[in-house]
Structure 1
Amino acid sequence: MHQQIYVNLPVKDLAASRAFFEAVGYRFNPQFTNDKGAGMELGDNLYAMLLAQDFARTFTGKEFPDPKRATTGWVCLSCDSREQVDALVAKARAAGGHVPGEPQDHGFMYGHGFEDLDGHHWELVHMSGMPQA
């Protein structure tokens, strides 16, 4: 059905947001990066477009809520291991991100997350099985 996903996130300071995510370990595609937006590579055919707020407003007539005060959704990414989950959260914290909670271990699924500099919530999960029916 779909070939790729692009999650678009408005950010207050594009340069600071890019530096934050580079510190976490993500790369940016120079073909989709300029002073208005930055195309962050999350995996094969998975992208987050960090858009300067003024530019992001050209796509919608709606207001942007402050993600530090309101949640309208969040990004959830799968990881290869529990260790990868913990390592990414640790890098985000070291780069200035906020870690709002403790890791969650549901047996078949382990998760933890962080908030980026703008307050967007990023959840990271490792699935080691399926829940029992």
Structure 2
Amino acid sequence: MYQYRQMIFVNLAVNDLDASKKFFTELGYTINPQFSDDNAASVVISDTIVAMLMTKPFYATFTKKEIADARTTSEVLIALSAESREKVDELVDRALSLGATPSGETQDHGFMYGRSFDDLDGHSWEVVWMDPAMVRD
């Protein structure tokens, strides 16, 4: 029987769609061609999380507001979970090697560990691991 799973689609305005697609695929994510074209790319982060990278003119068709320059204005903080501290470091270090910039300080609280980076367009991504033993039902 089909069970509905709620998804999140994070829509991000980008300056160079091809460069952003390359950045995210080199981080290990895939592009869903069914929902991608010259104006947007559907980056599959997980089975319930998708980042929609949109050219600024296309993004502008969805809002009457001014599009934030994510390099100078905080528009959103995107947080992704990771399965271990090592996976946090792997993803952030890979992003930095691909042209991302560090964002904020490393957070190490023992039971929770996180690092962050700004992608090619300045969007802030936090990658966080939390000890499963500390998560209570």
Counterpart check, 1:80 vs 2:109: no
Is 96-105 or 114-123 further displaced after alignment? Answer: 96-105
Q: Aligned equivalents of 1:60 and 1:102: distance in 2?
A: 33
Counterpart check, 1:130 vs 2:134: yes
Superposed structure 1 runs of 4+ greater than 6 Å apart: none
The number of equivalent residue pairs is: 131
Q: C-alpha offsets along residues 37-59 of structure 1, whole Å, 9 cap, x if unaligned?
A: 00001112210100111000000
- Structure 2 matches for 1:7-26, cutoff 5 A? 7-26=10-29
Is 117-126 or 25-34 further displaced after alignment? Answer: 25-34
Q: Aligned equivalents of 2:5 and 2:61: distance in 1?
A: 25
Q: Residue 33 of structure 2 aligns to a residue in which SS?
A: strand
Q: Aligned equivalents of 2:35 and 2:15: distance in 1?
A: 18
Q: Residue 60 of structure 2 aligns to a residue in which SS?
A: helix
Query: Which residue of structure 1 aligns with residue 51 of structure 2?
Result: 48
Q: Which amino acid aligns with 2:106?
A: P
Query: Which residue of structure 2 aligns with residue 100 of structure 1?
Result: 103
Instruction: Return the match for 1:4 from 7, 24, 36.
Output: 7
Q: Which amino acid aligns with 1:112?
A: R
Q: Which amino acid aligns with 1:77?
A: L
Q: TM-score, normalised to structure 2's length?
A: 0.90
Q: Aligned equivalents of 2:12 and 2:108: distance in 1?
A: 28
Query: Which residue of structure 2 aligns with residue 29 of structure 1?
Result: 32
Q: TM-score, normalised to structure 1's length?
A: 0.93
Query: Which residue of structure 1 aligns with residue 69 of structure 2?
Result: 66
Deviation at 1:110, TM superposition (A): 0.5
Deviation at 1:72, TM superposition (A): 2.1
Q: Aligned equivalents of 2:103 and 2:78: distance in 1?
A: 15
In structure 1, runs of 5+ residues without a counterpart are none
What is the percentage of aligned positions where both structures have the same residue? 48
Q: C-alpha offsets along residues 67-98 of structure 1, whole Å, 9 cap, x if unaligned?
A: 11010221101011111110011110111110
